[in-house]
Structure 1
């Protein structure tokens, strides 16, 4: 760790870590009867190990434990994961705000610095920008969250990785019809059809489609969303397995934008009156398909292949006055782009080729072709919110070809060494087709590459307690969106990739007292990509000299009695600028990151009958800009839910009701980092409710 003294929260974390270890060892030696513990298999780290023996901070979340929700946002499922900061902006035009150990906190929309996957298919674009809007909660089975050094195995922009998996069809054919409603005229209708394969070589299937509509919590925040997801699975006679996934999402969302502190305190539901004339909104359409194939050649060798392709179209109307667009270099107030993207990942795994070893070698290829246009957001009559004259026209291409290796060696009965190596390279090119007097040719290209080594040493202290220490080099390139604007309104090819050194020490325990995890980490980053300000709806970015992130995480979960379970977690992170960056004082806190987070829940969750749960979430204050001039205050919110599940023969009925922000806390859900107009604050909803009913019939 750094020589700087860690403050009281870190000391308390280490005290808790010591207590957890002692309690775990006591539970093992003090028990008079053996306890049969479930094996939690983890896929994210590609080590083919159980959770207890995976040398990384990784967590598995079962969707079946989070069904008393309306089923629209990932915030409903990903609760209490240490190190994960997931905020609902109450703005469907800008997606959720997601960061892991501080990586990705700069994003004013979408997801940066974290790799997202759905059934092994990337939900992160090849340039590193991701979105959660195509993740279907109706057919979701589980999620794995991987943080820390081991996430560098996924290459560029992998400050963490979130892998979601759709259920596989099984048993009788069935159809489920559901309806949920809630505050602000929220309404969601969904249908899920599924069935297992009767014989080998026939596919099982899971097909889901939903429609969501809301007036929104704030003025001008209405949204409509159609989401469909299909998965076919073949388990073939030769032992191979094939998954075919098709996904489509269509979103129309109004954008209420941020508020100043005074405006938030006056009326958190408002949209700034001046902005109403612009009718700020976004339309998103995305269709994606992918195929995964795995085949064991024999007891020692296995092959895996994945291929995917998709198209994403976005039209966004911004709040930029016509006077600002009078600048001949300005790209206009309407963003309109279409992206075609595709890729593949080929992998071989060899087991026991040498005693107690496992080897993996692979090659990942991704490519993206983007047609980006900009238009004035006004017409000849001076009316805003319409598509006017063309102001930008360019074609952007990107590709990467990443070879990677991974090895695991159990060199002593209780000791294992894991190592990885990936060569990450990204190639950008932009061809400018809008060349006018006063607006020259902004074409250009650039290449980024980095060798990313990783290593972890793990020790099985006992059968139920393990510890590990790990290191990895991280790498993050700017996305096309982050390069889209610069000081002179052209492509910002001066942005450099960020490079980081990541360290972690952790301990895990699984015994009669529950599942414990504790980790202490540090990340030192050079050329970190940070916000350079958001002015008139347009985000710009720059490189920071050095940044530092260090902290600790604790988590615990346990089945207390029968179907009564509890979960608790705590995260501490000190994230600050650690060098001489223009306009930023060394030691200033990185905006968008909460120093402390805590979560606790208690739930009664039988398979049938009455169920209920309650959870409490605490979030520390969050600075809004590099100068730390203001901060969204800390808050604590409580949620409660109850439901009933009835089963009879081939019928199943599920009902639920829930209340969020039970005590009507007035708080800021997320911040727009470095907003140039001082409208940093995105207010969260007050006391709100939802209720739902679903009926399933098997045939």
Structure 2
């Protein structure tokens, strides 16, 4: 623990002393403070409050009043230490999400992080996820689990994000909202909701929205349809049923990355190939799922979840036609896949079967069937089929055709034992196994069919000590496991055909020590952590939107996180957080075909060493509301050799609004300015980009963030 050992530990010790002293003082003066209902942490399945959960877990509730346009998670999930949630300003590639450095390699979508919406996976069985189907219109809260306990979710759980939709309550109501802003952005939403009148009738929330924008950069226009419905039954026998159905459709132009010189000269511009091949992406996904929980008696309960979904993607890349025509093994410049996925989770919970114990045992099943094709991104002109007359940016001849299947069956068990009045041990074990198979139907370049299996036992344990009623100290350890996704295995770094079945899964040993306090001085958390990873899956280069991957023998992530939030006075709240993350290669990585060597001690690209966040908000139920937040991000290395960086930056946002209620009517308005001081900065990086243009390197690492931009909106609700 190189950095942690040399860290000035007088600061954490002072923090511990302050927390205890605060609590001793608070015990004398909080008798008059009204007790609020205890909210339990859902992510760890232990049924304990956030304070009593021995893990780094954070909850973000949606604001009482709308203060943003409501399109993606970067608008609401802020201020969580060691979580990087970067907006690419590119709706063709989704957000860039990483936790404690896990997932930072992703060129699109989410890797290494498990995502759930209403208990249903938004992460595929192979570990690839997306945030595009999370509906902010009907969102209630988000939980983020960043520490070792995330391994309880099995494969690719370097962190866990759980989004929960609101449940219908009270009278039937209808809400209409509209938000607009910079770059001709428009967002229109409709929400219907109502509580159950009898146990046999469901409470319901039905949300539908449409978003379109011209985009900050050239060639970045997008439109998005998102529908979400949740029905909830609370039956007389104590059981609860949630049925959730979600649909999302996106059409987005892809501006891709820039060189540093291009960013500095004009961050809105795009590469010539982007326009030549009209790079773009179409996505359509439908998903439905059911969760059911039932108490059997005072000591036993059961839970079941089942889901099924379909995801279709067509993506046009800017790979030159000369490159495709030059090799029979090339898979083309158009990616086209149709993926059906489904799964289930069955769990039993027993309490007090042994004194002061809770036990969870279950089985998670997931499967995926994918038809993946590749096409040339050009067609030959009818006028001259033999020469160099081509129509670019059109779907041409097929160059890849395969059926890919994947499944896993993960048994797991958790136990919590309060063995002394102030001491508790939480432990768990999950056997994660993933089975891949690919059947090649494009045989012009040989049969590239293959299969492989990955499996690993994942133990975890945490010991916690309740120092005082409002101060908890804990330490934990867990084994982590991450398989390569089908997309990461899709291409070999040396350009050969077929899947890269040589990629190994990574395993990690994760350690954490933490302290939490909750009293009238606020909610505090201090955490130190370390993750040692073997066979880490890292980028082997990205060219023209196509990424390849390899294994690094050893990597090391370690750091410290601090967070604080408090209701200062009436509806005035404050929040602050800071994280320090030292993420490095812990062994040399040898060069191989077309991929440079990496020296031990180099910093893992895509990861910021320091992050800071602070916000102040006045957020009443009605009347004037306002807020200001400041976010700092340290520099980020763009490649394994650490030859260049995206510079550090600090950005500020402000919002104001007014909420009004009269009888059965509610009205809310808001106006917001992001990047108030018009900072020119990089929002995210394309790790290890290795694009070559006319035989010369043209590394397009940089995805510029928006300059000063504004939004404003209005929502009207009526109860019936």
Task: Tell me which residue corresponds to 2:488.
Answer: 482
The correspondence for 2:473, drawn from 464, 467, 480, is 467
The correspondence for 1:440, drawn from 432, 446, 463, is 446
- Measure how far apart 1:494 and its partner are: 0.3
- Please say which of residues 209-218 and 380-389 is displaced more in the overlay: 380-389
Task: Tell me which residue corresponds to 2:12.
Answer: 17
Equivalent pairs, count: 692
- Measure how far apart 1:273 and its partner are: 2.5
Q: TM-score, normalising length from structure 1?
A: 0.98
Q: Secondary structure at the match of 2:703?
A: strand
- Please say which of residues 25-34 and 364-373 is displaced more in the overlay: 25-34
CA distance in 2, matches of 1:293, 1:80: 33
Q: 1:113 to 1:383 in 2, by over 3 A?
A: same
After superposition, give the CA deviation of every residue in 1:168-191 in whole Å (9 maximum; x if it has no partner).
Answer: 001000000000000000000000
Q: 1:585 to 1:232 in 2, by over 3 A?
A: same
Task: Tell me which residue corresponds to 2:565.
Answer: 557
TM alignment of 1:379-390, pairs within 5 A: 379-381=379-381, 382-390=390-398
Q: Secondary structure at the match of 1:75?
A: helix
Q: Secondary structure at the match of 1:134?
A: coil
CA distance in 2, matches of 1:400, 1:698: 46
Q: Contact 1:547 / 1:576 at 8 angstroms: preserved in 2?
A: yes
Matched, 1:684 2:705: yes
Q: Contact 2:646 / 2:702 at 8 angstroms: preserved in 1?
A: yes
Q: Contact 1:136 / 1:227 at 8 angstroms: preserved in 2?
A: yes
Task: Tell me which residue corresponds to 1:349.
Answer: 349
After superposition, give the CA deviation of every residue in 1:78-102 in whole Å (9 maximum; x if it has no partner).
Answer: 0001110110000000000000000
CA distance in 1, matches of 2:300, 2:402: 46
CA distance in 1, matches of 2:628, 2:65: 12
- Please say which of residues 63-72 and 611-620 is displaced more in the overlay: 63-72
- Measure how far apart 1:320 and its partner are: 0.6
Task: Tell me which residue corresponds to 1:540.
Answer: 548
Q: 1:369 to 1:274 in 2, by over 3 A?
A: closer
Matched, 1:637 2:647: no
RMSD (Å) for aligned C-alpha atoms = 1.0
The correspondence for 2:512, drawn from 489, 499, 504, is 504
After superposition, give the CA deviation of every residue in 1:98-145 in whole Å (9 maximum; x if it has no partner).
Answer: 000000000000000000000000000111000000000000000000
CA distance in 2, matches of 1:58, 1:171: 30
Q: Contact 2:3 / 2:582 at 8 angstroms: preserved in 1?
A: no
CA distance in 1, matches of 2:3, 2:139: 43
**Which runs of 5 or more structure 1 residues have no equivalent in the other structure?**
none
After superposition, give the CA deviation of every residue in 1:346-370 in whole Å (9 maximum; x if it has no partner).
Answer: 0000000010000000000000000
CA distance in 2, matches of 1:370, 1:56: 36
Q: Secondary structure at the match of 2:102?
A: coil
Q: Secondary structure at the match of 2:603?
A: coil
Task: Tell me which residue corresponds to 1:30.
Answer: 25
Q: Contact 2:4 / 2:558 at 8 angstroms: preserved in 1?
A: no
TM alignment of 1:361-372, pairs within 5 A: 361-372=361-372
Task: Tell me which residue corresponds to 1:207.
Answer: 206
TM alignment of 1:310-349, pairs within 5 A: 310-326=309-325, 327-349=327-349
Q: Contact 1:140 / 1:167 at 8 angstroms: preserved in 2?
A: yes
After superposition, give the CA deviation of every residue in 1:232-286 in whole Å (9 maximum; x if it has no partner).
Answer: 0001111100000000000000000000000000000001134310100000000
Task: Tell me which residue corresponds to 2:272.
Answer: 273
Matched, 1:575 2:583: yes
Q: Secondary structure at the match of 2:126?
A: coil
Q: Secondary structure at the match of 2:21?
A: helix
CA distance in 2, matches of 1:190, 1:275: 32
TM alignment of 1:47-126, pairs within 5 A: 47-64=46-63, 67-126=66-125
Q: Secondary structure at the match of 2:15?
A: helix
Q: Secondary structure at the match of 1:50?
A: coil
Q: Secondary structure at the match of 1:518?
A: strand
Q: Contact 1:17 / 1:554 at 8 angstroms: preserved in 2?
A: no
- Measure how far apart 1:489 and its partner are: 3.2
Q: Contact 1:20 / 1:516 at 8 angstroms: preserved in 2?
A: no
Q: Contact 1:21 / 1:509 at 8 angstroms: preserved in 2?
A: no
- Measure how far apart 1:3 and its partner are: 4.1
TM alignment of 1:96-495, pairs within 5 A: 96-326=95-325, 327-381=327-381, 382-436=390-444, 439-486=445-492, 487=494, 488-495=496-503
- Measure how far apart 1:66 and its partner are: 7.1
Q: Secondary structure at the match of 2:220?
A: coil
CA distance in 2, matches of 1:427, 1:208: 36
Q: Contact 1:66 / 1:77 at 8 angstroms: preserved in 2?
A: no
- Measure how far apart 1:6 and its partner are: 5.7
Q: Secondary structure at the match of 2:380?
A: coil
CA distance in 1, matches of 2:367, 2:655: 44
CA distance in 2, matches of 1:329, 1:632: 35
- Measure how far apart 1:580 and its partner are: 2.4
Matched, 1:530 2:538: yes
CA distance in 1, matches of 2:3, 2:180: 50
Task: Tell me which residue corresponds to 2:719.
Answer: 698
Task: Tell me which residue corresponds to 1:587.
Answer: 601
CA distance in 2, matches of 1:157, 1:65: 33
Q: Secondary structure at the match of 1:18?
A: helix
CA distance in 1, matches of 2:664, 2:4: 61
Task: Tell me which residue corresponds to 2:672.
Answer: 658
CA distance in 2, matches of 1:645, 1:683: 35
Matched, 1:602 2:601: no
Q: Secondary structure at the match of 2:93?
A: coil
CA distance in 2, matches of 1:655, 1:150: 40
Q: Contact 2:273 / 2:318 at 8 angstroms: preserved in 1?
A: no
After superposition, give the CA deviation of every residue in 1:391-422 in whole Å (9 maximum; x if it has no partner).
Answer: 00000000000000000000000000000000
Q: Contact 2:257 / 2:702 at 8 angstroms: preserved in 1?
A: yes
- Measure how far apart 1:41 and its partner are: 1.6
Q: Secondary structure at the match of 1:49?
A: coil
CA distance in 1, matches of 2:106, 2:159: 15
Q: Contact 1:24 / 1:513 at 8 angstroms: preserved in 2?
A: no
Q: Contact 1:417 / 1:455 at 8 angstroms: preserved in 2?
A: yes
